[in-house]
């Protein structure tokens, strides 16, 4: 396997730091771009421009009445929405500051409390999110949204039984899109594919009339199809998401994966680039790099990968924990294995979810510590989740341990479930499966 | 990662909810019950916007009951057309003995529309189930809504198309369900910007109708007076929407419904109920409304009026038993629509009071305008509930009559003289939201 070194190129990083400003700015410009904005305004009623206007309006109102807790709440949430629209995490500390100001004025304020909870989730501070979410539930046990914060945090902390109970409570307090989507995710984690699809379809019936939530549900349904290797069905869902919400980045990113899986690599690159140029999320940039690499555009790939380091530093500087994502990226791309292992161990301790376990298992395998890796891979598959990448990781670990036949079984399972689950790894799985 | 996607969605939704509560753009201009808890703003198909109940002026031996849902439908919303949610249950309730519990319930279940080439899948079939004293009867099935008003090519001659949606039920009543012009009117932008009335005290026009041009989905019933009447002649009415409960570990359990939205009197959840109780209020049946009475007794609007109009004050900020009477028990003095001591948020209609004017032509101030056939005796489409609410909170019933209002006195288009009364919606093609681009070579 090719071991691509991306770290340690300080010059590349510095150059990318400069260009990142450009990326973020041009993201704004893309959204302000006339035809795009017009299409979005027509269909969504909630374009980026509205949040910008809202922020200005609220800042203005707060200059006149700095103690207005309601306006502070709204501004804190609007800052988080800006982060979401642009991928620019510098909005997070602003949101944090404003919501804390609201809480100093009104310590039992629910929107500020749950706003800080969702912020903690966005920054991957799951133990903190759990504490805040529980405070929100205590403030108002009848408000459904707070259970979402608690449940999401519990999932990331690997406390699934408690998390699923909380999702059940949420769906009893107030069934709707937010609760149905979480139930769907829980069922998917447990390997209940049909149940997950049913719950997500129900979520879709609770999203009628709302462009972005409708598109979001379509993308989730598409991902359920994708996970089973039903690429045509997945692509149809993603295209329907784009009809509901033109330019929807999560649909573009997902379509890029389908394009790559069906052998249209240049098309995949173009789609992923559109997603990445609109909102430079690290997962978009990472996939773009992998696609460029797979297409033989080595130099483009290097440039793209370098950008991830920059985005990561920007995320960290603004309070986002990225250990797990960085560990996975570094393990996948062969970056300083020993340091990556330390990072993965740290990440798994903070986030002992099946994803944390899986990344640690994979990083251990990359470091040749396959006995220990096996234990974490078992943990990663403890819920019965049907995830081709986790199957593949297990295959690699078994292979490393010399259990060739067992390994081949896992590779088989991976490619049978989703033949092209990863641009980088499915070819390897195919090779070892035969 | 998936978890990140969830967090992202949560923020999007929370922020969208918050934004809806603030701005006046396409998704912000909504009917009277839209400034709600973020969660209900995220589920427009389960959002009850307005409830109406009145004796039908053109058929005075009948009562019309209306449940409007889905706030702020932009007529040009394609391809994201609006429909009733096929997974929701829409409810209209009537309380005949003043205990806050339903004695007659109507449940409406809609099927997903079949996507056809031009109608956007907005024509839905539906079933009406009526429950009286625990006995359930299907009074209509295979009923059809008209499609949404898409435009003259997709939905030509929309008026007659829509009127085909008026259909009989097996118990002698009449039903309609489908898209309509939002009958609600008001300067909601001003009302929610600390009652920033644009001109004077809002009694001389000059307001901006934020609902003009937008549509809602209407469920309307027309039933014989005799079906509801009782010895006191006063009945209570409210509407609600339920969604099915779901569990991670699913069995073959029967659908269990959870009420996620309800509406009796207008503006209650947005003006009186504190944030942390909004979900709970929506899930509660009027019989259990006693727990919320204290918020009716001390409306924040009264404090606001004191700040806004000190020259007219003082406005009574606490112990507002006059408001509790209007909204929670019915009026005893003057004797109008009292249903007993149980505090329950319902529209209360005295069936012995005959209609006073054709639809749309009653006194917009209702009872405060000496027209006993209007809110808070039931509620008609033309009742100017924002003005009435401001005046009532201002103390109209406790000898403190003031010309307060929002400067919008009537709907932008006329209602229909006959059932289902609410006007045809603007079409997506020639809606009032856009403007023609100048022609050029």
Task: List domains and CATH numbers for chain A.
Answer: 33-107 (no CATH), 322-434 (1.25.40.10)
Token duo for residue A237? 């869902």
**Lowest mean per-residue pLDDT among A20-29, A182-191, A354-363, A399-408:** A20-29
Report d(CA A18, CA A264) in Å as an integer.
Answer: 32
Name the residue among A58, A152, A178 with its Cβ closest to that of B39.
A178
> What's the pLDDT band for A16 if we cut at 50, 70, 90?
very low
Share of chain A above pLDDT 90, in %: 78
List all residues of chain B from 51 to 70 with a beta carbon under 8 Å from chain A: 70
Between residues B275 and B285, the one the model is more confident about: B285
> By the 8 A CB rule, do B197 and B207 touch?
yes
**CA–CA separation, B44 and B34 (whole Å):** 9
Query: Under an 8 A CB cutoff, do B258 and A174 touch?
Result: yes
**Which DSSP letter does residue B335 get?**
T
Residue A115 in contact with residue A73, Cβ under 8 Å? yes
pLDDT band at A11 (very low <50, low <70, confident <90, very high): very low
The answer to whether the Cβ–Cβ distance between B77 and A186 falls below 8 Å is no
Residue with more model confidence, B437 or B230? B230
**Res. A37: pLDDT tops 60:** no
Q: Is the separation of the CB atoms in B211 and B29 below 8 Å?
A: yes
Confidence of residue A39 (pLDDT cuts 50, 70, 90): very low
DSSP run (H or E) holding B220: strand B215-224
Model's pTM, two decimal places?
0.88
Whole-number pLDDT of residue B21: 27
Q: What pLDDT, on the 0 to 100 scale, is given for residue B126?
A: 97
Rounded CA separation B151/B158 (Å) = 8
Nearest to A176 among B42, B73, B247 (CB): B42
| pLDDT at residue B43 in the model | 86
B178: three-class secondary structure by DSSP: strand
Contact residues, chain A, for B279 at CB < 8 Å: 140, 142-144, 173-174
pLDDT at A409 > cutoff 70: yes
B6: nearest CB among A140, A152, A250: A152
Which is higher by pLDDT, B39 or B116? Answer: B116
Supply the pLDDT for residue B2: 33
Average pLDDT over residues A314-330: 94
Confidence of residue B205 (pLDDT cuts 50, 70, 90): confident
How much is the pLDDT for B195? 63
Residue closest to B371 by CA, chosen among B346, B324, B399, B379: B379
Output the six-digit token pair for B345. Answer: 């948020």
Contact between B178 and B378 (Cβ < 8 Å): no
- Bridging pattern class, strands B48-55 and B62-73: antiparallel
Poorest-confidence range of A184-198, A296-310, B14-28, B125-139?
B14-28
Asked if the model's pLDDT at residue B242 lies above 80, the reply is yes
- How far is Cα B316 from Cα B226, in angstroms, rounded to an integer? 41
C-beta atoms surrounding A371 within 10 Å: 10
Q: Name which of A32-46, A103-117, A341-355 the model is least confident about.
A: A32-46
The mean of the pLDDT values for chain A is: 88
Taking the CA of residue B300 and the nearest CA in chain A, the distance in Å comes to 14
Contact A85, A51 (CB under 8 A): yes
Q: Tell me which chain B residues have a C-beta less than 8 angstroms from the C-beta of A350.
A: none
pLDDT at B314: 87
**Considering Cα of A359, then A363, then A365, then A370, what sign does the dihedral take?**
negative
What pLDDT, on a 0 to 100 scale, did the predictor assign at position B113?
80
| pLDDT score of A2 more than 70 | no
Specify the DSSP class assigned to residue A382: T
Residue A220: list chain B partners with CB under 8 A. Answer: 5
The predicted structure's pLDDT at residue B367:
93
Residue to test with chain A: of B1, B5, B10, B428, most A Cβ within 10 A: B10
| Alpha-carbon gap, residue B210 to B335, rounded angstroms | 35
The complex's ipTM works out to 0.88
pLDDT, tens digit, for every residue of B77-115? 777 789 999 999 999 999 999 999 999 999 999 998 876
Closest chain B CA to residue A43 = B77
Indicate if the pLDDT at residue A342 is higher than 70. yes
Q: In sequence order, which residues have a C-beta less than 8 Å from that of residue A52 and are 6 or more positions away?
A: A82
- Tell me the residues of chain B between 15 and 54 that have a Cβ less than 8 Å away from chain A: 15-16, 18-19, 21-23, 25-27, 37-39, 42-46
Distance (Å, whole) CA B106 – CA B67: 11
pLDDT at A326: 93
């Amino acid at each position: 396997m090719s071991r691509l070194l991306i770290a340690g190129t300080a010059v590349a990083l510095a150059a990318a730091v400069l260009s990142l400003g450009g990326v973020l700015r041009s993201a704004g410009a893309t959204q302000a771009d006339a035809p795009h904005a017009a299409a979005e305004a027509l269909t969504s009623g909630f374009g980026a421009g509205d949040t910008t206007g809202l922020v200005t309006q609220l800042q203005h109102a707060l200059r006149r009445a700095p103690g207005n807790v309601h306006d502070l709440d709204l501004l804190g949430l609007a800052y988080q929405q800006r982060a979401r629209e642009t991928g620019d995490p510098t909005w997070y500390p602003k949101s944090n500051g404003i919501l804390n100001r609201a809480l100093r004025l009104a310590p039992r304020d629910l929107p500020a409390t749950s706003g800080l909870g969702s912020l903690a989730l966005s920054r991957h501070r799951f133990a903190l999110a759990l504490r805040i979410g529980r405070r929100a539930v205590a403030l108002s046990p009848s408000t459904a949204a707070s259970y979402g914060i608690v449940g999401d945090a519990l999932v990331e902390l690997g406390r699934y039984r408690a998390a699923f109970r909380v999702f059940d409570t949420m769906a009893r307090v107030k069934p709707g899109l937010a609760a149905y989507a979480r139930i769907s995710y829980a069922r998917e984690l447990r390997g209940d594919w049909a149940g997950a699809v049913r719950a997500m379809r129900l979520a879709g019936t609770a999203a009628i009339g709302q462009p972005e939530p409708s598109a979001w549900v379509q993308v989730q349904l598409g991902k359920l199809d994708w996970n089973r290797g039903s690429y045509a069905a997945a692509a149809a869902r993603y295209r329907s998401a784009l009809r509901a919400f033109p330019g929807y980045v999560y649909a573009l990113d997902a379509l890029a994966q389908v394009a790559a899986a069906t052998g249209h690599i240049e098309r995949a690159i173009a789609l992923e680039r559109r997603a990445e140029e609109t909102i430079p999320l690290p997962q978009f940039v990472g996939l773009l790099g992998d696609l460029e690499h797979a297409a033989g555009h080595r130099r483009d790939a290097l440039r793209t990968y370098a950008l991830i380091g920059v985005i990561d530093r920007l995320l960290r500087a603004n309070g986002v924990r990225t250990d797990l994502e960085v560990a996975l990226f570094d393990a996948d791309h062969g970056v300083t294995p020993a340091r990556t292992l330390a990072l993965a161990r740290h990440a798994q301790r903070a986030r002992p979810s099946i994803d944390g376990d899986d990344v640690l298992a994979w990083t251990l395998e990359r470091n040749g510590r396959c006995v220990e890796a096996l234990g974490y891979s078992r943990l990663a598959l403890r819920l019965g989740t049907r995830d081709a990448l986790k199957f593949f990781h297990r295959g690699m670990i078994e292979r490393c341990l010399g259990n060739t036949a067992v390994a081949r079984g896992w590779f088989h399972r991976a490619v049978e479930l989703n033949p092209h689950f990863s641009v980088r790894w499915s070819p390897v799985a195919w090779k070892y499966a035969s | 990662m998936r978890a990140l996607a969830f967090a992202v969605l949560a923020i999007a939704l929370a922020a969208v909810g918050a934004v809806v509560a603030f701005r006046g753009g396409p998704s912000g201009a909504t009917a009277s019950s839209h400034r709600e808890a973020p969660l209900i703003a995220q589920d427009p198909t389960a959002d009850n916007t307005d409830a109406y109940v009145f004796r039908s002026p053109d058929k005075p031996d009948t009562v019309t009951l209306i449940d409007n849902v889905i706030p702020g439908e932009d007529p040009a919303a394609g391809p994201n057309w609006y429909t009733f949610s096929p997974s929701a249950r829409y409810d209209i309730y009537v309380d005949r003995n003043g205990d806050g519990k339903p004695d007659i319930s109507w449940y409406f279940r809609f099927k997903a529309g079949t996507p056809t080439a031009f109608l956007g899948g907005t024509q839905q079939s539906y079933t009406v189930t009526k429950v009286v004293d625990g006995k359930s009867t299907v009074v209509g099935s295979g009923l059809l809504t008209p499609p949404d008003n898409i435009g003259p090519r997709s939905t030509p001659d929309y008026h007659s198309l829509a009127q085909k949606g008026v259909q009989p039920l097996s118990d002698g009543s009449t039903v309609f369900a489908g898209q309509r012009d939002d009958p609600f009117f008001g300067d909601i932008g001003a009302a929610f910007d600390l009652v920033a009335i644009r001109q004077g005290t809002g009694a001389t026009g000059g307001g901006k109708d934020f609902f003009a041009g937008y549509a809602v989905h209407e469920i309307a019933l027309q039933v014989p007076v005799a079906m509801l009447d009782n010895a006191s002649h006063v009945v209570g009415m409210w509407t609600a929407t339920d969604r099915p409960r779901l569990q991670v570990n699913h069995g073959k359990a029967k659908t269990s419904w959870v009420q996620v939205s309800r509406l009796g009197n207008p503006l209650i959840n947005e003006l009186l109920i504190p944030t942390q109780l909004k979900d709970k209020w929506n899930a509660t049946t009027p019989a259990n409304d006693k727990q919320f009475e204290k918020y009716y007794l001390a409306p924040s609007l009264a404090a606001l009026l004191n700040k806004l109009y000190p020259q007219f004050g003082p406005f009574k900020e606490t112990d507002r038993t006059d408001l509790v009477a209007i909204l929670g028990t019915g009026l005893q003095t003057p004797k109008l629509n009292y249903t007993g001591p149980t505090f329950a948020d319902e529209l209360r209609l005295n069936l012995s009071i005959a209609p006073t004017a054709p639809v749309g032509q009653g006194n917009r101030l209702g009872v405060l305008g000496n027209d006993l056939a209007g809110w808070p005796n039931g509620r008609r489409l033309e009742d100017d509930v924002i003005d009435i609410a401001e005046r009532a909170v201002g103390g109209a019933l406790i000898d403190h009559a003031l010309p307060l209002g929002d400067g919008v006195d009537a709907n932008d288009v006329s209602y229909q003289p006959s059932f289902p009364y609410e006007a045809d919606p603007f079409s997506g093609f020639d809606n009032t939201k856009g403007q023609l681009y100048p022609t050029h070579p």
